[in-house]
Structure 1
Amino acid sequence: MDDESGISQELEQSLRKHRRGSESTGTLVVSEEEGYVGDTITFQGRNFPAGEQYELRWNSTDGRWGVLEANEIVGPQYQPRKETIATVRTDEDGTFDEEWMVREDYGGAHRIEVRDGDTTVATAEYTILPWFELDQQSVPLGDFFTITGYGIGPNVVTNNYQVAWDNGNVGFMTGVMNRGTATAQIRAVGPVGKHTLQVWRNYRGVPYLQNNTQSPYGPVADGRQSQWVVEVTEPEQPPESAWLDAQLDESPIALHYPDVEDTEAELSITPTSGQPGTTAFISGENFPAEEEVNLIWYRHEGHRVKGIPITPEPKPEMLPTVTTDEDGRFQTEFTIPHGEGSTRPITAAVGGREVAVTGFMMQPSIETFSPTSGPVGTTIEIELSGVGWPVYENAPYFLYDNKPLGYVCGLTDNDGGGIVKLELPASGEPGWHFIDAYPCLFEVQQDEPDFELRPHLSYLDNHPVRPLPAYHMAFEITED
């Protein structure tokens, strides 16, 4: 009887659900048709059966950069995403009201479903509008203002926003990653006093100046502030002359290793990342006992513009030869040399056969910034090391006082030991002037939006593949 009773109850529930679905699909309305990340809205359910439980399902996308071989950038890639944001139960009148705060997500229209198991019984739509906030409106000369954008993209028009300082285009922000949220830091450059900071929008990568007057897509932030008057104040102490953003611990990318024979020999390095000059230890195990092992450093050589493929090439005299112990182990200490950024492969060869591979993630450094002061026209010499060869780190883009200047290339001189050299003339009124170099994308296979060869200001949380730092320098113009 108990089994039969249980079966009967399951059958009755199934029939009741079927009858419920055929009688009414219900009505879902959102208290607001559109709004911003952080807003509180209400989902209003009506005309449902009484005392029933439903799930509210939010439809959106997940974004990432399409990357081939951890090198070539295809462009932004998006795929559908669904998530349950609430569980509701109708009252005796078949209604429910559910408050919900709009989470960080991409801008544009989002479909909300009322789900009864696998069945959608009602839908509504809510549009997230983009908006931007500034962390502070007064900072000392040489420090940074931080802009955070919410509800960016993924539409081709609305996932590329440009930032202007005193009507000069500094670079772009995008929310490809982090569900449409992006962060940019803008240098407070002189003179001391009031300046303007503004966010523009255009899929071509340069500001469309009719954004807020005649754009078919409406104002940049749909009613919220996208332009600020900010104040640059006198610093309490002189700015630091040359530095990089903090760099994280990283691991090498195995896709960038050369092929070696498949053996039991194992090679490892500690630490796995750092700048030139880092002291590292290479360890090996499962090698032949009491045998010489040649350690081989690799560089990546080639030239995209000339059509020369970029490939890892051995430099066998840069690392020591070691001898294994009776257990086939060894450990040796060495100093990381200068070289191109990204993965620097290291192989171990026995009897001319490369039998194991590891790698070191080479990180950028500022080798030379000199002089740090002088009159207008002074030649400023800059040397960088660890500029990578993949397209997402190959071309740091330089700004002088927040004005675009140009880019350098990490593979310009394959005989230069990985050192990138440039000279700039000091310009401007007496006082402090600032040089910043941001990551940029040298090549992108997709044409729209146009991300190529522009300072990527949202590199902190939206750059492809690696967490690259920006370079920061300060020069003081003196009287003649």
Structure 2
Amino acid sequence: MADDRLSSEVRDRLQERRDEQTASGTLVASDEEAYVGDTITLRGLNLPADTEVDVIWKTVEGRWGVLQANEVVGAQYRPRTVTAFTARTDADGRFERDWEIPEDYGGEHTIELRTDEDGPPLAKTTIAITPWFELDRTEAPLGEFFTITGYGIGPNVLENNYQIAWDNGTMGFMTGVINRGTATARVRAVGPVGSHELQVWRNYRGVPFLQNNTQSPFGEVAGGRQYAWSVEVTDPESEPETAWVESMFDEAPLPAHMPDPDRETEAELEISPQCGQPGTDTVLTGRGFPPEQRVDLVWHTHEGHRVKDIPITPEPVPGVLPSVETDEEGSFQLEFEVPKDRGATRPITAMIDGESVAVTGFMLQPEITSIAPTSGPSGTEIEIALSGIGWPIYENAYYFLYDNKPLGYICGLEAKINETVLRAAGEPGWHFIDVYPSLFDVQDDEPNFELIPHLSYLDNHPVRPLPGLHMAFEITE
């Protein structure tokens, strides 16, 4: 595979040289480097007169490489070509046009002029996109959030992993793998009330390289734009919520995580809704079964253990769902409450005479089952229980932050209800526990995305977006 990749790279270089030798015109950009959102001027010279030319922007498309919607290989990119605009040359074979740099990945991009899609370019130039970051506000009430948005992130290893620090403590990372270099991260406004420091760092190892802005050969984090802010945390108008989960997405179960039926039949299962937290009221409908037939319905969990090298497979859980009798048309309908279980796709099978004849699934989403107590003196033991934490690698290691400081993770494989005990620490007042997705294991070693809170989980997480879970505890005098 390495030889094939090398051969491909050699072919690309040879093709570029051939294109340069046959190029007949000149393309000049007003800037060699720019930020997303900047306007640059492109000038074409020595081109065919009175001719329409396509201005081609060459970039990449990013995605997470994931096997079986479970094992995360790493960030992967493939070439993507976009027609930025079409211009007409004048009688002297010239044109000039202002153009805004689109939301895209950082690094060098080639711009070509073409009249024929299959022919060599008439001219080309390059421009490098420099990553930059903006903060939505510099003042927020205690318990609310600041939002950092990054533009032009990646795709190269050195520029696609940025770390967020609060008061010189690293919270986690943000990346723009699947969102064309744009990513958002929310940072909790934690106490005490007053001034705090928020900063963006960069390093492929997943932790800040402290010479980013002084002696890095790759330049400052944002190429001269702001990467650190002094922010103000103010008194809240009302008490923070003690426990809440971010809005979840309407999503379907993943076929890769459902077993195939033992026997192919006309029978079908349909569930509504297809997703939700434990306790969701659902309706399971069966059609195409034999008339007046007993059907055993079986709920499945996933069991196994990566560390112990025990394969993770869907396993039936007796007693969760009942048996039903189809009507004279071979149909049935069952209302039931989704139980607490490991998260992600929960298969449901319909069995006749010990064989499964139809399969569906329910996408089980996370919930905060309980937090108790929610107030007490420093040192109080806080018992926390979560359910619906998934077993796949991209979601089984939810990571806890206490007042924006990373503490550790829980494993969605260990139990249907994940329980932990934290000790309240800090001065009297409100303190915050935020639980974010992370990646338990990534096959690619660089950059390092493993077991670090993924702060851009909403718009750049592998497979599917996952919600953050948020809690608050009040330390009393």
Check 1:275–1:22 CA distance in 2 against 1; reply closer, same or farther (3 A cut).
closer
Q: Is the 8 A contact 2:47 2:122 kept in 1?
A: no
* Runs of 4+ that moved beyond 3 A: 21-24
Report the counterpart of residue 4 of structure 1 in structure 2.
none
SS in 2 for 1:339: coil
Cα RMSD for the two superposed structures: 1.1
Report the counterpart of residue 168 of structure 2 in structure 1.
167
Q: Is the 8 A contact 2:72 2:394 kept in 1?
A: yes
Deviations 1:182-234 (A, max 9, x none): 00000000010011000000000000000000001000000000000000000
Out of 376, 379, 387, the position equivalent to 2:378 is: 376
Q: Is the 8 A contact 1:48 1:94 kept in 2?
A: yes
SS in 1 for 2:157: coil
Q: Is the 8 A contact 2:436 2:468 kept in 1?
A: yes
- Aligned AA for 1:156? V
Matches of 2:22 and 2:420, distance apart in 1: 75
| Bigger Rg over Cα | 1
Matches of 2:23 and 2:458, distance apart in 1: 49
Q: How does 1:35-434 map to 2 (within 5 A)?
A: 35-117=34-116, 118-119=118-119, 120-260=121-261, 261-413=263-415, 418-434=416-432
Report the counterpart of residue 28 of structure 2 in structure 1.
29
Deviations 1:38-71 (A, max 9, x none): 0000111011122111100000000000000000
Sequence identity (%):
65
Report the counterpart of residue 457 of structure 2 in structure 1.
459
SS in 1 for 2:87: strand
- Aligned AA for 2:190? V
Alignment gaps of 5+ in structure 1: 1-20
Matches of 1:353 and 1:232, distance apart in 2: 60
Alignment gaps of 5+ in structure 2: 1-19
Matches of 2:40 and 2:345, distance apart in 1: 47
Deviation at 1:24, TM superposition (A): 7.1
Report the counterpart of residue 473 of structure 1 in structure 2.
471
SS in 2 for 1:357: strand
SS in 2 for 1:460: helix
Deviations 1:61-100 (A, max 9, x none): 0000000000000000100000111101111121100111
Check 1:290–1:468 CA distance in 2 against 1; reply closer, same or farther (3 A cut).
same
Matches of 2:430 and 2:77, distance apart in 1: 43
Report the counterpart of residue 10 of structure 2 in structure 1.
none
- Aligned AA for 2:94? T
SS in 2 for 1:179: coil
Deviations 1:337-358 (A, max 9, x none): 1100000000000111110000
Q: Is the 8 A contact 1:199 1:226 kept in 2?
A: yes
Deviations 1:288-345 (A, max 9, x none): 1000000000000011111111000011321011000001000011111110000000
- Aligned AA for 1:80? P
* Length-normalised TM-score, structure 2: 0.94
Q: Is the 8 A contact 1:24 1:48 kept in 2?
A: no
* Length-normalised TM-score, structure 1: 0.94
Q: Is the 8 A contact 1:346 1:358 kept in 2?
A: yes
- Aligned AA for 1:109? E
Check 1:22–1:458 CA distance in 2 against 1; reply closer, same or farther (3 A cut).
closer
- Aligned AA for 1:100? W
Q: Is the 8 A contact 1:24 1:47 kept in 2?
A: no
- Aligned AA for 2:419? K
Q: Is the 8 A contact 1:54 1:115 kept in 2?
A: yes
- Aligned AA for 2:404? N
Q: Is the 8 A contact 1:46 1:96 kept in 2?
A: yes
Deviation at 1:259, TM superposition (A): 2.1
